Chains A and B, each alone.
Chain A
């Protein structure tokens, strides 16, 4: 059974700091991995999608990497801003397009 774990569960950093969020999964047979952002009381916004054949994806200040063999993905946020404060979720898509989410990392960026 695929399990997805995100570390840390919560993180508080000063503005401007670079940070890394971690996601690990137990079964390397994934179709793709996606990072999302969720603001309180809102839906999920897609940040980055990494196909199983890819190693990383970049969008602006965000960079996500994928190492299938070790069952790990990281989300790197450069020069964090207060507007980055949110919960970040990773999700893996397995065979049959079944999607399993991690519990998320709650990020707070202090001005």
Chain B
């Protein structure tokens, strides 16, 4: 099915553990994005990518790592999870002249 999918949908992890959130899109969109959404802060851009092997920092990149070896995948890794990284994470993809499409989100809880 065409679309953008995130996995897992829900994740509970312990402080200090490494966690990877997955994002996969089937449109071959050039641009992909990771956001976090928190009460009182709205949606904030963590990292984005203009193409395979091209990534750049957004507003809140500290503590996160991304990679994009293939156009369709854009995983987000929390190297050492902290409680402040408890949030809902959204992945999105967009073509050069198309609208942005969002995944359903991953609800991450760090305990």
Which residues of A come within 8 Å of B, CB atoms? 34, 36, 42-46, 49, 51, 89, 91, 96-104
Contacts and interface: CB of A to CB of B under 8 A. Distances in A.
Contacts of B105: 42-43
B98 A49 contact: yes
Q: Tell me the interface secondary structure of chain B in the complex.
A: strand
B74 interface: no
Interface string B55-68: 01011000000000
A100 B101 CA distance: 15
Interface in B75-111: 90, 92, 94, 97-105
B42 A98 contact: no
B45 interface: yes
Given A43-B90, A44-B90, A98-B48, A51 B33 contact: no
A96 B56 contact: yes
B97 A51 contact: yes
Contacts of B35: 101
Contacts of A51: 97
B103 A91 contact: no
B99 A99 contact: no
Contacts of B44: 101
